[in-house]
Structure 1
Amino acid sequence: MKKKPLVIVTRRLPDAVETRMRELFDTQLNIDDRPMSPAQLVEAVKIADVLVPTVTDRIDGAILAEAGEQLKVIASFSNGFDHIDVEKALARGITVTNTPGVLTEDTADMTMALILAVPRRLVEGARVLTPDHDWAGWSPTWMLGRRMAGKRLGIVGMGRIGQAVARRAKAFGLSIHYHNRHRLSTEIEEGLEATYWDSLDQMLARMDIISVNCPRTPGTFHLLSERRLKLLRPEAYVVNTSRGDVIDENALAKLLESGAIAGAGLDVFEHEPTVNPKLLRLAAKGKAVLLPHMGSATIEGRIAMGEKVLINIRAYFDGHKPPDRVLPSML
């Protein structure tokens, strides 16, 4: 009988995914769901045929240098792959896969939720109806936010998620604008009624809301730098459901504190799981809405991710090319 590959999973996955994984492979699960340390990851790559990390696991060159010859696949349970040194993995003959496409709608939903929550002050309002506060009742001038209809939304990164955000925002009456590495087809632009900006700087200076939906690459690190954030209008809001380090957090916090930017909605952070204390203080003051990386957190989405992981592993060991390989051209 053909030996089953040893698959080591770094975090808890949905029960249905773990059950199927145990049926198909010789599987080691992380029952406690505690993040694995670098030393534990090194021990894992020394013996595993397949490593299934998540976005919080840093699989860098130092860890890959310790990998045994038997490690053939890193099947990441994630849409992104910036947490893996893909070039080093490929150089060692290790196939890297991810789980693209299944989180688009979930992340776009959460992005739209933040686009609504920040200008309409939803979290501030919810805090009023708690035992620690007394609500004096409705007042014409109390808890005033900003209307959505007619506002200009600038989307940074118009891939699958950016386009899904645009579809939702259009239904709320927002004017759609975007900046992307490559301009979309005329057909897509017309369908979304979207205006393309070749200059990110010029777009930032003219928008009411900025939604960051670009992938994390070396070129997008601090894409929204202090210089670019200063281009935003004082009435503008920033929403980020992409990767935390696309925005210079310290600069964002400084501009929020001074009132140079009206507010921010963040689901991702530059040094996760650590959250910048400045942002926490601003959230307490109602100048930011912070969420703990919940953008893709749906049961359906997580199961779909797991199914992609299973398909990629099975395809490799059945002698086929995994459908979700990370290729050098994608880096």
Structure 2
Amino acid sequence: MEEEKTWALVSELGGEFGYLEELSDILKQHFHLVSHRDLLRNPALYGPKIQVLLIWKYFPAAEPSLLRLLPSLKVVASGGVGIDHLDVPFINSLGVKVANTPGVVSNASADLAMGLLLASARKVLEGHQIAVDPKTINLPQSLMGVEVTGSTVGIVGMGEIGYKIAQRSKGFEMKILYHNRTRRCVADERAVGASYCQSLEELLRRSDFVVIAVRLTPATVGLIGHTELSLMKPTATLVNISRGQVVVQDALVEALQSGGIRAAALDVTHPEPLPRDHPLLSLPNVLITPHIGINTYDTARAIVQRMVANAVAAVKGRPVPNEVKLQ
């Protein structure tokens, strides 16, 4: 049976940047695994054997220089829903299919969006730092947050993740606004009590919390810039779980420094990580997490299992469940 396994290329196994052992074990059930490092050390040996490229956390990058080493490649199976790191037309032109893993990332991503919103609103990080500081003798009464219950959340992007954010927001009795390229059906809106904003500008003006949950496309690069931030309430908070490039970071820094908005809570930046001297890292009204929206054991396991299903289908010539087909 070992000899029948398909050869697959991965970033690395174990270590800080590789697959967790549990996830590696799932892959090993189906594939002979070759690390990116081993491929580059001996491309003549491994390159012609590899039929599957498994991309985890953007690595290994599906660049032309790498793809040229893989003449037998049949599929690029990427973990996560975003495909902005993939040149799908170019990969398809090589006769190679592309697949992602939508759906399985939605709950974890929506959970983190709400976690960032709540942590920023209630100054959880600042409170933790005071509570554990060896110098703390008395607890300050000045650490005041803002109310979440009953506030207005504006969700930009009402796909599956955005809708799950709305479901969670309903539990906090929030007024829910959303802006999307296409309006959701009346039944969906009623189920979460969401109101559609025809324009992004209307949503920005009315929201206490603006949560960005769009895909990165040419149309969404720089979606939130100086003009958009100037429309937000000075008491509002921006939460971004999509991609860093959706927000113009210089404009965000200016808005945060000037009091144009109250705060920002970001799971994504551009680049990642930010340069260590970037002004966003030193602002007291910014909360940043290192792109951990899908980082739960259950979600990671589900992603890898979906990657396997997509890759196996492609190798066997079957329909690929989550093949990316550009319109």
Q: After superposition, what is the alpha-carbon deviation per residue over 1:250-289, rounded to whole angstroms, capped at 9, x for unaligned?
A: 110111011111000001111112357111011xx2x011
The alpha carbon displacement at 1:64 in A equals: 6.0
Q: Which residue of 2 aligns with 1:4?
A: 5
For the structure 1 residues 126 and 144, does the alpha-carbon distance in structure 2 shift closer, same or farther, using more than 3 Å as the test? Answer: same
Q: After superposition, what is the alpha-carbon deviation per residue over 1:8-54, rounded to whole angstroms, capped at 9, x for unaligned?
A: 11142232332232232221247xxxxx7xx78x9987762111112
Give the distance between the partners of 2:303 and 2:89, measured in 1 at CA: 23
The alpha carbon displacement at 1:82 in A equals: 0.9
Give the distance between the partners of 1:206 and 1:101, measured in 2 at CA: 30
Q: For structure 1, which segment, 178-187 or 92-101, has the greater mean C-alpha deviation from structure 2 after superposition? A: 92-101
For the structure 1 residues 155 and 46, does the alpha-carbon distance in structure 2 shift closer, same or farther, using more than 3 Å as the test? Answer: farther
Secondary structure of the corresponding residue to residue 265 of structure 2: strand
**Is 1:210 the counterpart of 2:216 in the alignment?**
no
Q: Which residue of 1 aligns with 2:15?
A: none
**Is 1:50 the counterpart of 2:52 in the alignment?**
yes
Q: Which residue of 2 aligns with 1:223?
A: 223
1:9-48 equivalence runs, <5 A: 9-11=10-12, 12-29=18-35, 48=50
Q: Which residue of 2 aligns with 1:119?
A: 121
Q: Which residue of 2 aligns with 1:265?
A: 265
Q: After superposition, what is the alpha-carbon deviation per residue over 1:220-242, rounded to whole angstroms, capped at 9, x for unaligned?
A: 11111222111111111000111
**Number of aligned residue pairs:** 318
Secondary structure of the corresponding residue to residue 301 of structure 1: helix
Give the distance between the partners of 1:149 and 1:131, measured in 2 at CA: 30
The alpha carbon displacement at 1:57 in A equals: 3.3
Q: Which residue of 2 aligns with 1:193?
A: 193
Q: Which residue of 2 aligns with 1:33?
A: none
Secondary structure of the corresponding residue to residue 230 of structure 1: helix
Give the distance between the partners of 1:17 and 1:70, measured in 2 at CA: 25
**1:153–1:209 contact (8 Å) kept in structure 2:** yes
Give the distance between the partners of 1:184 and 1:321, measured in 2 at CA: 29
**Amino acid aligned to 2:59:** D
Give the distance between the partners of 1:131 and 1:191, measured in 2 at CA: 44
Give the distance between the partners of 1:45 and 1:193, measured in 2 at CA: 53
Q: RMSD across aligned C-alpha pairs, in angstroms?
A: 2.4
Q: Which residue of 2 aligns with 1:134?
A: 136
**Is 1:279 the counterpart of 2:280 in the alignment?**
yes
Give the distance between the partners of 2:213 and 2:33, measured in 1 at CA: 34
**1:14–1:302 contact (8 Å) kept in structure 2:** no
**1:201–1:231 contact (8 Å) kept in structure 2:** yes
Give the distance between the partners of 1:294 and 1:153, measured in 2 at CA: 22
Q: Which residue of 2 aligns with 1:176?
A: 176
Secondary structure of the corresponding residue to residue 268 of structure 1: coil
Q: Which residue of 1 aligns with 2:68?
A: 66
For the structure 1 residues 245 and 137, does the alpha-carbon distance in structure 2 shift closer, same or farther, using more than 3 Å as the test? Answer: same
Give the distance between the partners of 1:274 and 1:63, measured in 2 at CA: 26
**Is 1:89 the counterpart of 2:91 in the alignment?**
yes
Give the distance between the partners of 2:194 and 2:29, measured in 1 at CA: 47
Q: Which residue of 2 aligns with 1:289?
A: 287
Give the distance between the partners of 2:116 and 2:185, measured in 1 at CA: 28
Give the distance between the partners of 1:281 and 1:181, measured in 2 at CA: 35
Q: After superposition, what is the alpha-carbon deviation per residue over 1:76-99, rounded to whole angstroms, capped at 9, x for unaligned?
A: 122211111111111111101111
**Amino acid aligned to 1:158:** M
**2:54–2:77 contact (8 Å) kept in structure 1:** yes
Task: Identify unmatched segments of 5+ residues in structure 1.
Answer: 31-35
**1:58–1:84 contact (8 Å) kept in structure 2:** no
**2:154–2:204 contact (8 Å) kept in structure 1:** yes
Give the distance between the partners of 1:86 and 1:51, measured in 2 at CA: 14
**1:157–1:180 contact (8 Å) kept in structure 2:** yes
Secondary structure of the corresponding residue to residue 206 of structure 2: coil
Q: Which residue of 2 aligns with 1:78?
A: 80
The alpha carbon displacement at 1:295 in A equals: 1.3
Give the distance between the partners of 2:248 and 2:192, measured in 1 at CA: 29
Q: After superposition, what is the alpha-carbon deviation per residue over 1:154-192, rounded to whole angstroms, capped at 9, x for unaligned?
A: 000001111111111111111000000100000001111
**Amino acid aligned to 1:88:** F
TM-score (norm 2): 0.90
> Percent identity of the aligned residues?
32
